[in-house]
Chain A
Amino acid sequence: MYKIDKNVYAYRCPKCGQLHYPAPMRCKKCGYRRYPEQEIEPNFQKEGYKPWEKTPLKGSCKLLTYTRLWNLPIGFDQRYLDFGLVEFENGIRASGRLLVDKPKIGMKLNVRVEKIKEFYGKVCYGLQFVKP
């Protein structure tokens, strides 16, 4: 449930090139299957199977909408947290933490991957949107 990799990835379908975030088990465009990176069933090393390319989510993006959440779920001790929904230049969209003083819909932002939470002693990383 919690990512401990200090990268957040989009996944490219090796058959049609469609980008996905998060990783699907089938390409939304052409239906090509994605097998997990670790073997969970005998067909994992299927002959002719092309692995999906992992592309770190990085670079600039545009803010589509945002909120300041004052009523946080258990596990978050902050008074409030800001969230944004953004679109990257490659068309991928994502939700994440917003670290901007005066957010405005349409503003250009950069993305970075930082600690968002600690969970049972493990540091969990996620997307943060900041001013360029």
Chain B
Amino acid sequence: MRKVGVVGIGHTKFGNLSDYELVDIMAYASLNAMEDAGIDGGIDQVMVGNMGAGMLNHQTGIESALVSTLNLEPAMAELVSNGPASGSSAFKMGYMAIVSGMADVVLVTAGEQMRRITGWEATDFVATLSHPEVEYPYGLTLPAFAAMFTRAYMAKYGLTERQLSLISVKDHLNAEKNPFAHVQLPVTMEGIADSSHASVVNSYVSEPLRLYHMCPVSDGAASVVMCAMDGAARFKKKPVRIAGIGSATDTHCVHNRKDPLDLKAVRLAAETAYKMAGIGPKDISFAELHDAFVILELCLAEEVGFFKKGKAIEAIEKGETEVSGRLPINPSGGLKAKGHPVGATGISQIYELVKQLRGEAEKGRQVKNPKYGLAVNFGGFGNNVVATILAKE
């Protein structure tokens, strides 16, 4: 099988980019990735990750629009959509295009623009991922599912709201040093948990989850150039190898899972990626985990084998997941603080893996001598998950 690597990365600021067109945002990230790779053309295939341009921007065919604005015709172009895991799925499709021999150089760009609409509409947009008959009409949203999951986890393992806030503080500390982060604002335990005014600053969104337990609604895009490793020498940057990719699905309806706390698709996707890479959880140097809700940083870390069920919080309390810790998690700030333009997140995670493995992360958030990085991109409420492992060559 052909080996594939990433030779270029690009990213826009995450935040409110509502003055720009979505395709222009994606083009900006794409050109940054191409410049990073040292190319201005020669792309065989463009894969675009996006969840909701048709609904949010009233624009379809963004893959063709992107190719045209980048002047990359006649490159092949496809749109890949997998909810909040669209970015990683597009990356997987790009990888498959190279492995199959259909392409040698692929540009994978993922983006989303969610701030042109109201918060009510954005909440509704994401909720359309849920079951159209037995979930969505009730007013159930993704934060509501995450909150019910959190409540069940708390009842089983004794987790507290205060402990959840520790994850938030750690993520914000990392995002403060990330120039692309939506929220570059450090938060303290006093501010969001330990003082009398904390419950006002950090009010409930869906009990027991509070504002600082959730990601912001963001615009943004990220992009990578990938190529066959045997042709990587002609690019400006040394390739970061794609060591493993796995993905798996679970029941659409959350209530149909045998154990409401079992994130089976996460576990299966990670196992497949580990097997392909020929490594295990102990070999991972750092991870970017899909913490749209901070409970997911905890539970994904357990499902991918870093910690036993119910034990991840102990590692977080000991500082093991900080940038300087034994196993840094979300050195980018995670979705929690870096932001979550849903379709863009998967490629933003890959961007961070490449940056860290190259040793190019900003001062104060560079992981020490990383060898393998793991990204987990969580679609729906865990019903379509992609895990990716990149390796330093």
Contacts and interface: CB of A to CB of B under 8 A. Distances in A.
B119 to A, nearest CB: 8
B148 A2 contact: no
A107 interface: no
B118 A74 contact: yes
A51 B148 CA distance: 35
Contact of A117 (B118, B124, B137): B137
B207 interface: yes
Interface stretch (B87-95, B252-260, B313-321): B252-260
Contact of A73 (B124, B148, B155, B209): B124
A67 interface: yes
B124 A75 contact: yes
A108 interface: no
A14 interface: no
Contact of B149 (A22, A65, A117, A119): A65
Chain B's interface size range is 35 or more
A65 B137 contact: no
Interface residues of A, number: 35
Contact of B143 (A66, A71, A75): A71
A55 B143 CA distance: 31
A3 B132 CA distance: 10
Nearest to A22: B134
A84 B134 CA distance: 13
Contacts of B147: 67, 69
Contacts of A22: 131, 133-134, 253
Nearest to B210: A70
Contact of B137 (A1, A68, A69, A71): A1
A96 B139 CA distance: 9
B20 interface: no
A94 B353 CA distance: 39
A31 to B, nearest CB: 16
Interface stretch (B73-81, B198-206, B267-275): B198-206
A73 B127 CA distance: 8
Interface of A: 1-3, 8, 21-22, 64-76, 81, 83-85, 93-97, 105, 116-117, 119, 124, 126-127
B25 to A, nearest CB: 24
A76 to B, nearest CB: 5
Contacts of A73: 120-121, 123-124, 127, 139, 141
Contacts of A83: 138-140, 144, 148
B255 A105 contact: no
B152 interface: yes
A3 B155 contact: no
Contact of A69 (B120, B134, B143, B260): B143
Given A1-B137, A85-B255, A85-B260, A72 B148 contact: no
Nearest to A1: B132
B152 A117 contact: no
A67 B206 CA distance: 6
A65 B120 CA distance: 25
B151 interface: yes
A70 B140 CA distance: 11
A56 to B, nearest CB: 14
A22 B205 CA distance: 28
A23 to B, nearest CB: 9
B235 interface: no
Contacts of A116: 137-139
21 contacts: A8-B134, A22-B133, A65-B148, A65-B151, A67-B151, A67-B206, A67-B208, A68-B204, A69-B140, A69-B143, A70-B205, A72-B120, A72-B123, A74-B124, A83-B140, A83-B144, A94-B255, A95-B134, A95-B135, A95-B253, A117-B137
